[in-house]
Amino acid sequence: MTYPTPFLLLLASFSILSGCVSLKQFDALQSDYDTLEIKHRQLTLEGQDGEIDRRELTGRINVLTQAREQLVVDTIQLGRRVARAESDVKRLRELNDVLTSESTSKMAAINDENRALLEDLSRIRKELQDQEDALSALSRDLERRQQELADRSMRVEELEGLLASRDAAAEALRSQLAAALLGFADRGLSVEQRNGKVYVSLEAQLLFPSGSTTINTEGQQALRDLAAVISNQSQLEIIVEGHTDTDQLRSPSIPRNNWELSVLRSTAVIDILTQSGVDPIALSAAGRSEYHPVDEDEKARNRRIEIIIAPNLDPLFELIRQPE
């Protein structure tokens, strides 16, 4: 504790007055007093310095207190901001989770849709390629068929040309035969052209006695006149057909029936034709008996010899047989 100087003086006087104090003691007391005075001064100075330091410290404390208070306020505000930020972060995370989930679902859906689209595209491309292949095949087939059609058209033209030539040749032959046999026209001989063939029909009364297979003189002359025309023709096919009526033969000798009669009469005609210069290779004999009548009412017309003359159709058949 620090005591003021008057108090110390009073204390010293009291001490002197209250007892017998020697000078030595007084000096000692004086020394002590001086020492105390010095200390008092020091303490006073120190107190002043301390007051200054206290004031400075107080000021610093006040500043620090204010700073602390401001720091507390800032901390509280920062805490609130941190809380809000954490709340925002939590909300953003939740939103991010939702968006991530939705994005994952949407991406899965998009991937599925893309996969389906790719599959459709692959299928469409395959269908398109198949259609292109089919179209190419059809184009090739069309070209082939067009070529076949052109070839067939050419062959048809050739066939038509051959048929026209055949018909023209048949008509020319008919005209020649009609002119050559004109003298027999009123005696049961006729010449006509049908389907590219010339049909010379000679009634039996012009050629044979009844039931006979021997050709009479007039008939032989008619056949020689016919041979004179066709013997000069090449590439002919000549069929001699014998026909009878329905009257049946009842003879033990040949001819025994209408079949034999029709065949023997056709071969008799062929004999005259070959003797008259017709190439036997071009000739064929056939017996038709009674089964190809031309008149149901007049039997005499059914008893006949038909000479069918046709151009050789081998070139025509050869053209038809050619591979397409």
Domain CATH code at residue 311: 3.30.1330.60
Per-residue pLDDT band for 17 (boundaries 50, 70, 90) equals very low
**Would 11 be classed as within a structural domain?**
yes
- In the block, tokens 């009634």 appear at 203
**pLDDT, tens digit, 9 for 90 and up, residues 247-256:** 888 777 888 8
Q: Which of 25, 49, 74 is the last residue of a domain?
A: 74
Domain contains 140: no
Kindly provide the b/e burial profile for residues 199-237, where b requires at least 16 CB atoms within 10 angstroms of the residue's own CB.
Answer: bbbbbbbbbbeeeebebeeebbebbbbbbebbbebeebb
Instruction: State pLDDT tens for residues 149-183.
Output: 888 888 788 778 877 877 887 888 899 899 989 88
57, 74, 91 — which closes off a domain?
Answer: 74
Q: How many CB atoms lie within 10 A of CB 159?
A: 14
| Residue 266's pLDDT band (cuts 50, 70, 90) | very high
Q: In this structure, is residue 272 part of a structural domain?
A: yes
Q: 8 CB contacts (<8 Å, ≥6 apart)?
A: 33, 36, 37, 40
Any domain includes 38: yes
Distance between CA atoms of residues 193 and 176, nearest Å: 12
Q: Measured between alpha carbons, how far is 147 from 194 in angstroms, rounded to an integer? A: 35
In this structure, the answer to whether residues 189 and 317 fall within a common structural domain is yes
Number of domains in the chain: 2
Whether 280 shows a pLDDT value over 90: the answer reads yes
Lowest mean pLDDT among 18-22, 36-40, 104-108, 130-134: 18-22
| Residue 246, token pair as written in the block | 């329905």
Rounded to an integer, the average pLDDT of 42-48 is 75
pLDDT of residue 203: 93
User: Could you give the 3-state DSSP secondary structure of residue 170?
Assistant: helix
Give the pair of three-digit tokens for residue 237.
């096919």
Domain membership flag for residue 125: no
Percent of all residues in the chain with a pLDDT value above 90, rounded to a whole number: 30
- Of 74, 98, 129, which residue constitutes the final position of a domain? 74
Q: Which domain, by its residues, includes 53? A: 5-74
Tokens standing for residue 284: 């064929």
Cβ atoms 262, 289 nearer than 8 A: yes
Across 69-209, where does the E strand assignment appear? Answer: 189-194, 197-203
Q: How far is CA 25 from the centre of its chain?
A: 142
- SS3 call for 323: coil
Calculate mean pLDDT across residues 255-261. Answer: 90
Residue corresponding to tokens 């329905």:
246
Classify 283 as helix, strand or coil.
Answer: strand
Q: How confident is the model at residue 299 (pLDDT cuts 50, 70, 90)?
A: confident
Q: Are 201 and 300 in contact (CB under 8 A)?
A: no
Q: What's the full length of the chain, in residues?
A: 324
Helix (H) / strand (E) element for 262: namely: helix 258-275
Q: How confident is the model at residue 134 (pLDDT cuts 50, 70, 90)?
A: very high
Q: What is the pLDDT of residues 102-133, one digit of tens each?
A: 778 887 888 888 889 888 888 999 988 999 89
206 pLDDT higher than 60: yes
Residue 10, pLDDT above cutoff 80: no
Q: In what order do the strands lie in the sheet with 189-194?
A: 189-194, 197-203, 304-311, 236-243, 283-289
DSSP state, residue 278: -
Is residue 66 in a domain? yes
Distance CA 3, CA 7 (A): 7
- Residues 95-103: contacts with CB under 8 Å, at least 24 apart: none
% of the chain exceeding 70 in pLDDT: 88
- At residue 323 the predicted structure's pLDDT band, cuts being 50, 70 and 90, is low
How far apart, in Å, are the Cα atoms of 20 and each of 13, 16, 30, 166, 299? 11, 6, 15, 198, 219
* Domain co-membership, 69 together with 191: no
Q: Is the pLDDT of residue 222 over 90?
A: yes
C-alpha 181/C-alpha 189 separation (Å) is 8
pTM of the model: 0.53
User: Is residue 196 left, alpha or beta, with left meaning phi > 0 and alpha meaning psi from -120 to 50?
Assistant: left
* Range name among 151-160, 267-276, 297-306 with the lowest pLDDT average: 151-160
**234 part of a folded domain:** yes
Q: Write the pLDDT tens digit of every residue in 49-82.
A: 767 777 877 887 778 778 777 877 877 887 888 7
258 is a domain residue: yes
- Measured between alpha carbons, how far is 115 from 102 in angstroms, rounded to an integer? 19
